[in-house]
Amino acid sequence: MIYFKDNSFSHDEITTCAFLLNEGLGQNSYSTEELKPFAKQYSNKILITAHLKDQLVGIIISERFTPANCKRITKELHKIDIDPGIEKTAILKAAAVKLKLRGRGIGVALIKKALQKVKSEKYKYAIGTVWDIPENPVKKIFNSIGFKELSLINTYWTGESIQKKYQCPICGNPCFCNAILNYIKI
């Protein structure tokens, strides 16, 4: 049985979260230090973990989206009359599930749990990006939950991959992957 946790994380749990994100999103994509503000839920940051038989097997992080976070996304949201400066909007920043447990519904459950959490905190919208690659399981998950595709953002992670020096699991460093921006009204 899967259970979730969204507070009181130990250092070992935060380290495991960083490991899972780096395993799924690319080496050096998230450090333990970067995750600490999410674990302590500072400044509208959220970290939720999934556990199976007392083992941490998945993570999702989210935070309040502001126009300063990413001007490229703000421009796209304005196309459908969402103003994140006025309407409280969450961005699902990253999610990962232990490799050997993927395809068992843990990712779906994490995303749904994150949407419940942001809804309880009076967010009106949630947005998320997925890699624009064939047969992307996260794209299918988003669609099944009710997310709508808004636009394609070319080379979305290039600047971040150079700055953080992480290795994209698809194309290395720098990352030249395109992102599909998705949104849902909650």
pLDDT over threshold 80, residue 112: yes
Tens digits of residue pLDDT in 48-61: 999 999 899 999 99
Q: What is the pTM of this model?
A: 0.94
Tens digits of residue pLDDT in 134-181: 889 999 999 999 999 999 999 999 999 999 999 999 999 999 999 999
State the pLDDT at residue 145: 96
In terms of C-beta distances under 8 Å and separation of at least 24 residues, what long-range contacts does 81-86 make, across chains too?
A: 82/125, 82/183, 84/125
Measured CA angle at 44 (ends 42, 47), to 5 deg: 75
pLDDT over threshold 90, residue 120: yes
Residue pair 125/183 in contact (Cβ under 8 Å)? The answer is yes
Give the pLDDT mean for 93-113.
96
Give the pLDDT mean for 78-107.
93
- Tell me what the pLDDT averaged over the chain comes to: 93
% pLDDT > 70, the chain: 99
State the pLDDT at residue 71: 78
Residue pair 74/67 in contact (Cβ under 8 Å)? The answer is yes
Residue pair 28/163 in contact (Cβ under 8 Å)? The answer is no
State the pLDDT at residue 84: 86
Q: Would strands 148-153 and 179-185 be described as parallel, antiparallel, or unpaired? A: antiparallel
Question: What CATH number was assigned to the domain covering residues 2-185?
Answer: 3.40.630.30
State the pLDDT at residue 131: 94
- What's the rounded Cα separation, in Å, for the pair 78 and 106? 32
